[in-house]
Amino acid sequence: MIKLYNYELSANCYKQRLFLSILGLDYEAVTIEFFPGMEHKSEAFLEINPLGHIPVLDDDGFMVRDAHAILIYLAARYDPSGRWYPTSDPELLAKTAQWLLFCEGTTSTASAARLHDSLHYDFDIDAVRAGAHRLFRVADEHLWFAEQEGYDWLVPTDHPTIADLALFPDVILSEEGGVSRQDYPALHRWTDRVKRIDGFTPMPGVFFAAPARA
Amino acid sequence: MARVASPCTDPVVLDMWHPISAAAEIKPGRVHTTRLLGSPVSYTLDGDGQPVVWRADPALRPGMPVDAARITERLPVIDRFCFIWTSYGDPPDRLFSIPEFDESDRRTFAAASIGVHTSAPRAVENFLDMGHFPYVHTGILGVEPHTEVVEYDVDITEDNEVLATRCLFYQPLAALAATKGQMTEYTYRVPHPYVAMLYKTAPPDPSRLDAIAIFVQAVTEEQIVAHNFLCMVDHTNTDSELKIFQQKIFGQDKPIIENQMPRRLPLAPRAETPIRADKSSITYRRWLSDLGITYGVVPEAA
């Protein structure tokens, strides 16, 4: 049985819950009280992850930590189509890796702004918001051009990749950190497409897409 | 923007008690700083574990050690219902009462203090609303097609509190301790302009009521910290499980209240069109007007 150590309100943990739901995999969610209990820094949890952060995945004794590493593992192990993490195509694989790394940037900017505003973390709020806008601008332009070429997703292929799931939470929750998405129409259209992926599941602060117009 | 973040001058609000921190989250002998009504305040626990609150001094930065005995210019403080409360003015002798808090078998604790981009009255008003349950808390506090808010009563009590009673709603998972859907009866109370409470049937013992509250800290007119307080009849779930359940519910409300514009609550009767289900909101807005509150609201034009 897959076990996911996670926290309900965490954007980084949502990525795994989303992918597990899309893959239709059963799993046990083990709640770590990130706030206010700081359980991820407790001695008991440091035995599970000495870095003291969540999420951590335990698949029948195989342990893997870090949000994006878990996505890679789940795709490689449980997606026989090979489309979520396209290892067989060097160019698509490189682009997927590139956007996964891009998401490390949104974690330290958009996600940090949300932690600052909601959970009182001590960040330079103006700097992290500006950083988030810089990255959102890049993603918005990229998606606008992708749409012109007939692509719906970050990586130029006809199927979403784990990079889309890795970016989605920081974008869709950005307004909780005071980062408006008003100026990023292509990014907005892309969030609606992610919400329509089969098996999509929300988290607190995220809603299902409105029903598609006939 | 300047008006929103500038220090509060509303005399009614300055004289109220305001929550600033869960008592359990304060490190003794260390400086903690937060913002209240547009101004920074600092607090700590002294050698006897008693809270001490003062107007923030730039020389005493958050996290620094501090000898509370040397803080002479103090603000009023009380430690009540798991939280520390202070005031910039001349607050009443006592805070409102929560009789259930003193029942010995209750589980009482601070569930989480969460920052939200809204005004204190908007957060209180949302807490009083049942109409959103099926749409925002789908599968937990409500579910379609059970969307009707049936007629309920709202009064101002002798103690000058807003009280809504006979509020009935169908809930698939009314509390973590619930095992099946039930018609849940709610009572809502606004015992303080920035505090909303609800009482609802406790699934493990239907003769008793769980009590849940948000104590709202107005950071500015349009930025708050919602301090979630639980007083539960539940002997099965851990504190952590109960906290996370409450955080999940609150996390679902958050984008809804953050998207209500203007962020300050309009008090003019026709500013936002109410429906029958909004009876408690109408009473709350009128009550704020009668109290003369101007902070965090758009007052009715004179």
Tokens 């959970």 map to which residue?
A119
Buried-state track A83-109, b at ≥16 Cβ within 10 A, e below 16: bbbbeeeeebeebbbebbebbebbbbb
- If one counts the domains in chain A, the total is 2
Last residue of a domain, which of A78, A113, A129? A78
pLDDT in tens, chain B (302 residues): 445 678 999 999 999 999 999 999 999 999 999 999 999 999 999 999 999 999 999 999 999 999 999 999 999 999 999 999 999 999 999 999 999 999 999 999 999 999 999 999 999 999 999 999 999 999 999 999 999 999 999 999 999 999 999 999 999 988 888 888 888 899 999 999 999 999 998 888 888 999 999 999 999 999 999 999 999 998 889 999 999 999 999 999 999 999 999 999 999 988 888 888 899 999 999 999 999 999 999 998 86
Edge-first strand order for the sheet with B18-22 is: B18-22, B83-86, B77-80
**Are the Cβ atoms of B115 and A120 closer than 8 angstroms?**
yes
Same domain? For A113 and A172 the reply is yes
How far away is chain A from the Cα of B58, in angstroms, using its nearest Cα? 16
pTM of the predicted structure, to 2 decimals: 0.94
The alpha carbon of B282 is separated from its chain's Cα centroid by a whole number of angstroms, namely 18
Give residue B1's pLDDT.
45
The answer as to whether A210 is a domain residue is no
Rounded CA Rg of chain B? 19
The answer as to whether A187 is a domain residue is yes
The answer as to whether A207 is a domain residue is no
Q: What is the amino acid identity at position A158?
A: D
Do B2-86 and B99-298 come out as alike in CATH topology? no
Judge whether A154 and A163 are in contact, CB under 8 Å.
yes
CATH number of the domain within which A171 lies = 1.20.1050.10
Nearest 5°: phi and psi at B212?
-130, 140
Helices (H), chain A: 11-23, 43-48, 67-78, 90-106, 112-119, 125-148, 162-172, 185-195
**Are the Cβ atoms of B25 and A36 closer than 8 angstroms?**
yes
Give residue B235's pLDDT.
86
Cβ contacts from A onto B, under 8 A: 60
**Are the Cβ atoms of B114 and A8 closer than 8 angstroms?**
no
CATH fold of B2-86 reads N-terminal domain of TfIIb (2.20.25)
Same domain? For A58 and A108 the reply is no
Q: Which CATH superfamily is domain B99-298 in?
A: Naphthalene 1,2-dioxygenase Alpha Subunit; Chain A, domain 1 (3.90.380.10)
Which residues in chain B (131-160) have CB-CB distances under 8 A to chain A? none
Q: Diameter of chain A by CA atoms?
A: 54
Same domain? For A101 and A181 the reply is yes
Domain range holding A9?
2-78
**Are the Cβ atoms of B250 and A175 closer than 8 angstroms?**
no
Last residue of a domain, which of A56, A78, A100? A78
The answer as to whether A185 is a domain residue is yes
Give the tens place of pLDDT for each residue, A154-169.
999 999 999 999 999 9
Residue A119 at interface with chain B, using a CB cutoff of 8 Å? yes
Q: B234 Cβ partners below 8 Å, 6+ apart? A: B107, B175, B176, B177, B202, B204, B210, B242
Give residue B3's pLDDT.
58
The answer as to whether A109 is a domain residue is yes
The answer as to whether A11 is a domain residue is yes
Judge whether A121 and A108 are in contact, CB under 8 Å.
no
What are the residue ranges spanned by the domains of chain B? 2-86, 99-298
Q: Which residues are bridge partners to B116 per DSSP?
A: B224
Q: What is the amino acid identity at position B234?
A: D
ipTM of the complex: 0.91
Which residues in chain A (148-177) have CB-CB distances under 8 A to chain B? 175-176
Helices A125-148/A185-195 angle, 10° precision: 80
Same domain? For A120 and A162 the reply is yes
Same domain? For A34 and A57 the reply is yes
Same domain? For A94 and A66 the reply is no
State the Cα–Cα distance between residues B190 and A131, nearest whole angstrom: 41
Same domain? For A118 and A156 the reply is yes
How far away is chain B from the Cα of A117, in angstroms, using its nearest Cα? 6
The answer as to whether A131 is a domain residue is yes
Residues of B in contact with A118 (CB under 8 A): 114-116, 254
Nearest to B20 by CA among B218, B250, B295, B230: B218
Q: B119 Cβ partners below 8 Å, 6+ apart? A: B218, B221, B222, B224, B263, B264, B265, B296, B297
Percent of chain A scoring above 90 in pLDDT: 97
Residue of B nearest to A11 (CA): B251
State the Cα–Cα distance between residues B60 and B204, nearest whole angstrom: 48
* Helix or strand run (H / E) with residue A28: strand A27-31
Judge whether B188 and B197 are in contact, CB under 8 Å.
yes
Which of A7, A13, A17, A31 to mutate: most B Cβ within 10 Å? Answer: A31
3-class secondary structure per residue, chain B: CHHHHCCCCCHHHHCCCEEEEEHHHCCCCECEEEEECCEEEEEEECCCCCEEEEECCCCCCCCCECCHHHCCCCECEEEECCEEEECCCCCCCCCCCCHHHHCCCCEEEEEEEEEECCCHHHHHHHHHCCCCHHHHCECCCECCCCCCCCCCEEEECCCCCEEEEEEEEEECCCCCCCCCCEEEEEEEEEEECCEEEEEEEECCEEEEEEEEEEEEEEEECCEEEEEEEEEECCCCCCHHHHHHHHHHHHHHHHHHHHCCCCCCEECCCCCCCCCHHHHHHHHHHHHHHHHCCCCCEECCCC
Last residue of a domain, which of A48, A78, A108? A78
* Out of A37, A118, A122, closest to residue B115 by CB: A118
The answer as to whether A148 is a domain residue is yes
Same domain? For A50 and A98 the reply is no
